């Protein structure tokens, strides 16, 4: 497959893509999203995307890490087609759904939370809203702690707890009150100037001291704090992996004050990191866990898994969303979970992800501009830096643009726009990943040689 793909027959964006892009500008608000690439997918298969002009790309994005089983997986297609031919909607807020119950049972069995109950939503954003609702309702406490660099979504609630780019909040105030942000313990680039790879315990201790001696002592009363919300690995901030013992030590402090720990696993969950949930990497059992993105291969299911005693007291109907876990989406989720299990995609994520990181570290030895390589499974980031170690978003954007021209969907993002993001479908083969990395290196060489004039757009 790697010898055949990618296949670029017209320099992207081609004429059909350009025409559709112009049509969109006339009818769709730019608030819809950040257009990373001028690509218009027509169909997909496995970890490949074919655009409207017939170009075939290797996909290192997976639609924001959501197309977990790739594209047009036969089992997913069959389950969805069969379900929609029987009944396409039954509202689980008013009636019962065998399909939704099956999916809930599967998720409860896989989640790192004992005796859990589940709520269903539509996207990661409303899953975070449901997480906040549950935490405040169950604890009767108003305050929420979140991390700088966190991206939690775009509803008013999710935007209120996020701190990824300040532009997300422009002209939206007043937002939900009683939220406090703290720095994430990024081993490579943190506010304390600690090398978290060489001294992980020191980085953990600096954070815990900051939380207790400054936040709890001077900013927010811990006894009125409902929950701390964290991504186990920060996603849009640039695939930031905290020290291994961070959440174990953090949990001890939270328990002292009766504060819940909620994990936003919308991006990290459902096999993305080589485990069902990334919380497992850090040996911690959260009280609440939000999921989404890959659970139905990107087809629009999310939710919250929580300890039963927190979830069972919620007011009837307070988490009701009409299309949530409808039969068709539940069929997609059922198929997705089965595919991941039966095709050993957790193992594939670990094996291919290990190969990708190894190859990137080899590139790091040859190119000083690669400052850091990090990740778990198929959630990997490579940080691009200037000679002084500062972020280089300009070069990053050019690398990703040239990769696009050569047939690789390779996005740039991160808090400073200087991280190359690698989150392909979990079905990607080592062979296809290797071809993608060859293209990335070629794009890096071209960018360094001054041959690239464009750069990809990213969050700003």
Strand partners, 230: 263
DSSP state of 314: S
> Residue 3: what pLDDT?
58
User: C-alpha angle 81/85/86, rounded to 5°?
Assistant: 120
Q: Token digits for 302?
A: 């999310």
Residue 2 confidence class, pLDDT cut points 50, 70, 90: very low
Tens digit of pLDDT for each residue in 153-207?
999 999 999 999 888 889 999 999 999 999 999 999 999 999 999 999 999 999 9
pTM confidence score: 0.96
> Residue 12: what pLDDT?
95
Domain ranges of the chain: 15-63+344-449, 74-343
Task: For the beta carbon of residue 134, count every other beta carbon within 10 angstroms.
Answer: 28
Please count the residues of the chain: 460
Tens digit of pLDDT for each residue in 67-79?
999 999 999 999 9
Percentage of the chain surpassing pLDDT 70? 99
Tens digit of pLDDT for each residue in 402-411?
999 999 999 9
Residue 139 has pLDDT above 60, yes or no: yes
Please answer whether residues 17 and 53 qualify as being in contact, where contact means their C-beta atoms are separated by less than 8 angstroms. yes
- Looking at 367-437, which runs of residues are DSSP E strands? 370-376, 379-384, 408-409, 412-413, 419-422
CATH of 15-63+344-449, one of 3.40.640.10, 3.90.1150.10, 3.30.70.980, 3.30.470.20: 3.90.1150.10
Exposed, middle or buried, 438 (CB in 10 Å: 0-12/13-18/19+)? middle
> Residue 222: what pLDDT?
98
Cα torsion at 135, 140, 141, 144 (round to 10°)? 20
CATH of 74-343, one of 1.10.3720.10, 3.10.20.30, 3.40.640.10, 1.10.340.30: 3.40.640.10
* CA separation for the pair 191, 207 (Å, rounded): 10
């Amino acid at each position: 497959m790697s010898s055949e793909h990618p296949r670029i027959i017209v320099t992207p964006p081609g004429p059909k893509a350009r025409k559709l892009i112009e049509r969109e500008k006339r009818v769709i608000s730019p608030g819809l999203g950040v257009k990373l690439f001028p690509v218009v997918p027509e169909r997909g298969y496995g970890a490949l995307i074919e655009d409207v002009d017939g170009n075939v790309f290797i996909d290192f994005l997976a639609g924001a890490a959501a197309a977990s089983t790739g594209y047009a997986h036969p089992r997913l297609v069959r389950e969805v087609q069969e379900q929609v031919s029987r009944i396409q909607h039954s509202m689980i807020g008013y009636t019962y759904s065998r399909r939704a119950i099956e999916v809930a049972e599967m998720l409860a069995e896989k989640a790192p939370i004992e005796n859990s109950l589940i709520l269903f939503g539509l996207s990661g954003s409303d899953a975070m809203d449901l997480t906040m609702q549950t935490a405040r309702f169950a604890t009767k406490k108003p305050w929420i702690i979140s991390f700088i660099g966190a991206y939690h979504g775009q509803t008013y609630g999710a935007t209120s707890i996020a701190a990824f780019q300040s532009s997300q909040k422009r002209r939206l105030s007043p937002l939900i009150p009683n939220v406090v942000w703290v720095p994430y313990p990024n081993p490579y680039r943190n506010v304390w100037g600690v090398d978290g790879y060489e001294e992980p315990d020191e980085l953990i201790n600096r954070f815990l001291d900051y939380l207790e001696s400054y936040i709890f002592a001077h900013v927010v009363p811990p006894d009125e704090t409902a929950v701390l919300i964290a991504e186990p690995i920060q996603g849009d901030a640039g695939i930031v992996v905290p020290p291994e013992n961070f959440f174990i030590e953090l949990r001890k402090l939270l328990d002292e004050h009766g504060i819940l720990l909620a994990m936003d696993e919308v991006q990290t969950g459902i096999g993305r990191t080589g485990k069902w949930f990334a919380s497992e990497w850090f040996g911690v059992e959260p009280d609440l866990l939000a999921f989404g993105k890959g659970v139905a291969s990107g087809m629009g299911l999310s939710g919250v898994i929580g300890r039963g005693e927190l979830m069972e007291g919620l007011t009837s109907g307070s988490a009701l969303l009409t299309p949530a876990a409808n039969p068709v989406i539940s069929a997609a989720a059922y198929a997705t979970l089965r595919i991941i299990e039966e095709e050993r995609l957790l193992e594939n994520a670990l094996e291919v992800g290990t190969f990708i990181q190894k190859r990137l570290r080899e590139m790091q030895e040859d190119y000083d501009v690669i400052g850091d390589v990090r990740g778990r499974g198929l959630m990997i980031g490579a940080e691009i830096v200037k000679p002084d170690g500062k972020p280089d978003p300009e070069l990053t954007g050019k690398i990703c643009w040239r990769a696009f021209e050569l047939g690789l969907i390779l996005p740039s993002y991160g808090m400073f726009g200087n991280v190359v993001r690698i989150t392909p479908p979990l079905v990607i083969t080592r062979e296809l990943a290797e071809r993608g990395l060859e293209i990335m290196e070629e794009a890096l060489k071209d960018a360094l040689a001054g041959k690239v004039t464009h750069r990809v757009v990213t969050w700003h």
